[in-house]
Structure 1
Amino acid sequence: HFGKYPFDRYSIIQGGDGGMEYPMCTLILGEGTLAGVSGTMAHEVAHSWYQMTLASNEGLHAWMDEGFTDFASDEAMNSILGNPSTHQGSYASYFSLVNSGLQEPANQHSDHFTSNRAYSTMAYSMGAVFLEQLKYIVGEKNFYIGMKRYYNTWKMKHPEPNDFIRVMEKVSGLQLHWYLRYWINTTKRIDYSIGSIVGHENETWVDLTRIGEFPMPIDLMVTYKDGTKELIYIPLNELLGNKPNDNPSVPFTVAEAWPWVNPTYTAKISRKVSDIESVEIDPSLRLADVNRKNNKVVLADLKPYTNPTK
């Protein structure tokens, strides 16, 4: 997924301090749990791709090194252990920073952050969330093709953020600079909610609201009472295109694009409201929505009605 290791060897060295990456080696302590030591080794080895080979400017864009390294090492460890790679730990760290009121824009020099917490969360967690959320935007296949192409295109060339996002645009065929700008230049938040669910003859209309200022495409999962599901994909108009379906086993319906300037949107489902069990925004939990409590509605908990004028 991430490209070939470019050197002929790598050494794990037990030393007086641990958890520091160097070209072709890392230092570890001679103590700790197996999981802890293994995770440290995976993270420091992954630096060989993002710090040593791609060699982006860590002073200016620490998230392109530490964040990408965190993402890749989590993926590697979860693959070895047979666990799903959800990166929820990175999301939890990001949400904690947002709720603390200490978040700062990522696109500033590392020395200029007001707090170490803001810097470290930006560098590690926000960088990893940036990638997992990008996977949500472009689709899994496009994402991993793009990660490998980025590495092969820019190794030993010191890429900037625009270089990375341009590779992803070429692979996916989607416009993505809006996502990069929002994520690194602002502290705007993603927050979507489900409002009213109304029957209109043989259709169901679901009102969605963008509460936060950060616009995103939306995956809306509809679960029917007969046990079947349908994913309604609502692209953001800024994308100028659609992502592919990552899960062919679930019907995938592409809806009309949601203009980024509009705070509300009505999703139309071609089934009666009485057929629906639940509606959920982002069932894969890859959207960095700061309030997930308003992302799912179970219709048995509501009193949906059919609009008599329609």
Structure 2
Amino acid sequence: MEKANSSVPKPRKTSVLSNYEISVSIAFKRDCEVFLVEFAKQKTLSYAKFANIWQLKNMSYIFADQTYVSLLKTLCEECFAILTQCIIHQKNVYMKIGALYLLYGLYYKQPIEGMVKIRVSYDEYTIIKDLMDEMAKEKYMEPLFIFAKLKADVAFNYVGCSMPRSIRFIKNTKKAFTAHTLNANFGENPLSKFEGILQDESVVKLQDTCKRYEMALKKNSSIYPNIDQFKSTIMDDLNAAHKKLFSEDHSTPSEQIETDLKILNSRQEIKLRALKSENATYRGAKQVLTAIDLE
């Protein structure tokens, strides 16, 4: 019996934690981009506007369905690191403050006993402090309150470098963060790029190629009777997918969020009117007929 060839390299084992970090980083960056682009469109630093978008995007569920505490801790670390880098590197002030608000919201929403701290190096803290000085100069009080609240609750862990130095972090799985990681184009709904695909030059050429190929098959079938004639369904599938996606709702993401905000505001107004009403009878005050009363 021959021995197995020892020169054949064994497949490299990747840790569950490493794969999880990569998946979390990609997923949260996408959610973060969409959220911050929508907040930046509001052209305001109002925390109330931020809270409306937070509710519409269901950001409270970001920690849902996490089975293991260790993975939940990793999720918190990744989210905090991405948002911190966004505050540091973004050029758009609305995205900077939006990232600060997100950092604040997620920090207090983390469902961990012994909360995960936000790692900031000296250089990073200096940049954040300069941003807060600018907010104070312009008299924007809400970002200042958020930052002061985080500091008062000891949310920051002041470190020598933002990335931990241990075996687990020797190979950085995250791509370098640049100022252009989050921008309006990157944060657009991917479906918006697909909407005009039928008019794209490459798709028009594909349609023409399919037609010419079908004609050539018919022409050669008389010479070669055994040739397999078939019609390509590529364009039919593409048209069907396009019709399914865009035949019902043509609203853009920005139009949709404006509609959702109007609905949310109207619901809040109804709730306030109900609370102010002095003549309304609520469930707790109603007399309910029970079986004892019938005896």
Q: Report the TM-score when normalising by structure 2.
A: 0.24
Point out which structure has higher relative CO (alpha carbons under 8 A, 6+ apart): 2
Normalized per residue, the structure richer in strand is 1
Answer with 1 or 2: which has the greater Rg: 2
Q: Report the TM-score when normalising by structure 1.
A: 0.23
Normalized per residue, the structure richer in helix is 2
